[in-house]
Amino acid sequence: MRTSCKKFGFSLTEMVVVVAIVGLLAALGLPAIRSLQKSFETGSGINSLIDAALSSARAVAAKEQRYAGVRFQLDLHDNQYMIFIIHDPEKTKLSDGFRALEGQKPIKLPDDFRVIDMMRRWTSNPESLKDAKLTVVDIQNGMRDTSCFSIIFSPAGKMVIHGVRVRNRDGIFKPDNSVSGKISIDDIFNSPKNILNYNVGMFLQDDDWTEAETLFPGGGLGAEFSRDKFYIYEKSYFDKLNDTDQRLDYLNSLEPVFINQYTGTIVNSNK
C-alpha cells in the first residue's frame, strides 16, 4: 500500500513573485518615509516636533503629579536635544532640582535649526535667578547658555514659571567617578569630568559654575527660571553672517514662539 507524502515549501516562481512584491512595496514606501523625515527639517516640522514633546511632558506632569517639562540643551558636540525632565527634590537633593525622566531618550533637533531663549544667566547662585539679554560676547562663546533652557508644566497640566536646576539621578554634586562617594552613572546628565574622562553622560548638569566656565565658556550651568516662549533660528544662515554684530541683529529680529499655558501647545511662530 502506497502512502502519499505532501511536500511543503515554495517553488522558485512563487519566491520570485514574493520578492518582486516586497521590492515594489519598499519602492513605494521609501519616498513617503523620506518625505516624513524631511518634514522635520523644515520650520513647520521642528514646530511639530517641539509641540509633540511639550504635549508628552504635560501628560507626564499630570500622570506623575509632579512638575515635569522639556529641557533644551546642547551636547559637547554642539548638537541640540530635547530632554524630558521631572521634578525630584529627593534624588537631586535640591528644592528646585530636576532630573532626566527614566525610559525617555533625548530627542535630537534638526541640524539646520537652533532653539534658544535669547537670555543668559546672570549668576550661578541658585538663590538669585537673574537673567540678562544676549550680547555679542555670548555669541562669541557659542551661545551654549541661551541654547539651554526649560519649559515646565505643573501637576495640573498648566505651563508655569518654575526654578530649574538639573542634576544627575544619583543626586551627586560635582560627581567624579574616580572618587569614592562621588560616583554617578547617569547617562543623561553628569559633570564635565565624568563626561570627558569616563564617557558617562551626554549633557552637563547645573552644577559647578567655575569648573564648567573654564572648560566650556558660556556653558550656562546654574539655576534659572523656566520659560514661556522661545525663538527658532536657521543655523546655516546664521553661520554665513560675517560678524557677531550681524548675527546679533539677526537674532534680535526673530519673532518669539509662545506657548499656551493651559494647553501646552505652540500658539504662534515665525516659521
Tens digits of residue pLDDT in 207-254: 765 666 566 655 556 788 999 999 999 999 999 998 999 999 999 999
Tell me: pLDDT of 156 over 70: yes
Tell me the mean pLDDT in the region 95-111: 95
Supply the mean pLDDT for the chain.
Answer: 83
- Retrieve residue 231's grid coordinates: 525663538
Q: Specify which residues 266 forms β-bridges with.
A: 259
Lowest mean pLDDT among 2-11, 19-28, 109-118, 222-231: 2-11
Q: What's the distance, Cα to Cα, between the start and end of the chain in Å?
A: 81
Whole-model pTM?
0.80
Residues ≥6 apart with Cβ < 8 Å to 233: 113, 114, 116, 250, 251, 254
Tell me: pLDDT of 195 over 70: yes
Residue count (the chain): 271
Q: Are 224 and 121 in contact (CB under 8 A)?
A: yes
Per cent of the chain over pLDDT 90 is 59
Cell 539655576 maps to which residue? 223
Using CA atoms, how far apart are residues 182 and 110, in angstroms rounded to an integer?
35
Tell me: pLDDT of 269 over 80: no
- Retrieve residue 236's grid coordinates: 546655516
Q: Which helix (H) or strand (E) holds 83?
A: strand 80-87
- Retrieve residue 99's grid coordinates: 532630573
Using CA atoms, how far apart are residues 208 and 174, in angstroms rounded to an integer?
7
DSSP state of 259: B
pLDDT tens, residue by residue, 41-94? 555 789 999 999 999 999 999 999 999 999 999 998 889 999 999 999 999 999
